[in-house]
Structure 1
Amino acid sequence: MQITKRNVELRVDDSLMRVYLAAPKTTGKYPGILFYSDIYQLGGPITRLADRVAGYGYVVAAPEIFHRLEPVGSVIEPDDLGRMRGNDDARRTEIREYDADTTAVIEFLKSESTVIPEKIASMGFCIGGHLAFRAALQKDIKAAVCCYPTGIHSGKLGKGIADTQQRMKEIKGKVLMIFGSFDPHVPQEGRTVIAKSLQEAGVSHQILIYEADHTFMRDDGHRYDPAAADLAWTEITTFLQRVLN
């Protein structure tokens, strides 16, 4: 389906947070998705992913995750210098600040006239996959799609150590985890820890592993794998439709 695109201004802790909003063009009410980028923020590869989700009939809200540190509209280039900058931004952001952003976007989605407030999910990539998983700790999130999420097994997220793994029992929604088998950031040992923790916490979940590398769904890099990405998209859209529609 065709979509519309616009930018929304939210204020969190007196910081301007740009939220990229992609939504179906056809008038109606749709499930909402809190959509998290990787460390490079809202460049073309990420907004194209958000647009694709919206085209399946969802209102997608993607915040700039480093709005406290970067000027509004900043896109970090995915090169060596950009990687340093993005990782440093991630390191300097308090975990409670990530949580505050999550709450703000959820409340925004619930207040939108085009969103069904009882049907909100989260989705994210890399650090955004961890943020999408962490968002599921909140009662309003009915489903979470976490694509190659970093730091869940190690506690690495921002300043300090994230307690995401220890709080898995708080998740009441359903979770879909997408991994690449060649991902150095979430190796087999890390995936095993996550799977065991989910099982012990009694979280309704599905874990899918593709013969692919980290960021294999990002279409501008050498790790991009179109075939694996297409397979993942089929599973993602099926999962979201089953849980939210």
Structure 2
Amino acid sequence: MQITKRNIELRVDDSLMRVYLVAPKVPGQYPGILFYSDIYQLGGPITRLADRLAGYGYVVAAPEIFHRLEPIGAIIEPDDLGKMRGNDDARRTAISEYDGDAKAVIEFLKQESLVIPEKIGTMGFCIGGHLAFRAAFQKEIKASVCCYPTGIHSGKLGKGIADTKERMKEIEGEVLIIFGTVDPHVPPEGRQEIIQTLEQAGVSHKILIYEADHTFMRDDGYRYDPVATDTAWSEITTFFKRVLG
């Protein structure tokens, strides 16, 4: 399916938040997806993932997660200095601010004419996987895809310790989590802790584990695995189709 692309602005806490919006070109209404980047924001590897999802028939809204700290349109390079910068931005952002951004984008999607308001999901990568998981605390979110999410098991997200594990019972929708076996950020014991907490909370979930590294879906680095990526996409699109239509 062909897509259209544009940038919109939302105001959150008097900060201008750029949102990259991708939608099917064919007129109609579609499910909406709150789409989160990794710490490097909306560079080509992430916008290509957003574009790909939109092509399956979704309106995808990807906010700049560090809009309070970075200039509009800032793309952080995935090198050593960029990693330091992105991680510092993450540490300097309050968890409540991340949550407020989620609510703002969800409200936008509910009011957007292209979106079926009762069919909203979320998807994210790395820190964005954690943010997508937290977005599921909002009652509007019916389906959440969290790709190699960092910090859920440890509480590492922004300023302070995230209460993500403690709030899992608030999730009403379904969750799909994708892990890599050699991801140093989510070791086996961390994965198991997340799975056990989901089960105890009674959250409807599916866990997929691939023989892959962290960020294996990002197509610009040495950890990229195209085979695992294609397999994961098949699962992701099937999941969204089943839950959101």
Q: TM-score range by the shorter chain?
A: over 0.9
Identical columns (%) = 81
Gaps of 5+ in 2: none
Q: For residue 170 of structure 2, what is the aligned residue in structure 1?
A: 170
Alignment of 1:29-108 (within 5 A): 29-108=29-108
Q: What is the distance in 1 between the residues matched to 2:235 and 2:188?
A: 21
Return the letter of the residue paired with 2:169: K
Task: Give deviations 1:93-146, integer Å, cap 9, x for gaps.
Answer: 000000000000000000000100000000000000000000000100000000
Instruction: Report how far residue 31 of structure 1 moved.
Output: 0.1
Q: For residue 113 of structure 1, what is the aligned residue in structure 2?
A: 113
Question: TM-score if structure 1 supplies the norm length?
Answer: 1.00
Q: For residue 126 of structure 2, what is the aligned residue in structure 1?
A: 126
| Residue-pair matches, total | 245
Structure 1: 4+ residue segments shifted above 2 A: none
Instruction: Report how far residue 87 of structure 1 moved.
Output: 0.1
CA RMSD of aligned residues (A): 0.2
Question: TM-score if structure 2 supplies the norm length?
Answer: 1.00
Q: What is the distance in 2 between the residues matched to 1:223 and 1:187?
A: 17
* Pair 1:207 & 2:199 matched: no
Return the letter of the residue paired with 2:36: Y
Q: What is the distance in 1 between the residues matched to 2:75 and 2:89?
A: 12
Q: For residue 154 of structure 2, what is the aligned residue in structure 1?
A: 154
Q: What is the distance in 1 between the residues matched to 2:216 and 2:138?
A: 28
Q: Secondary structure at the match of 1:56?
A: coil
Q: What is the distance in 2 between the residues matched to 1:138 and 1:110?
A: 13
* Pair 1:198 & 2:198 matched: yes
Q: What is the distance in 2 between the residues matched to 1:61 and 1:43?
A: 14
Task: Give deviations 1:15-43, integer Å, cap 9, x for gaps.
Answer: 00000000000000000000000000000
Q: What is the distance in 2 between the residues matched to 1:17 and 1:208?
A: 32
Gaps of 5+ in 1: none
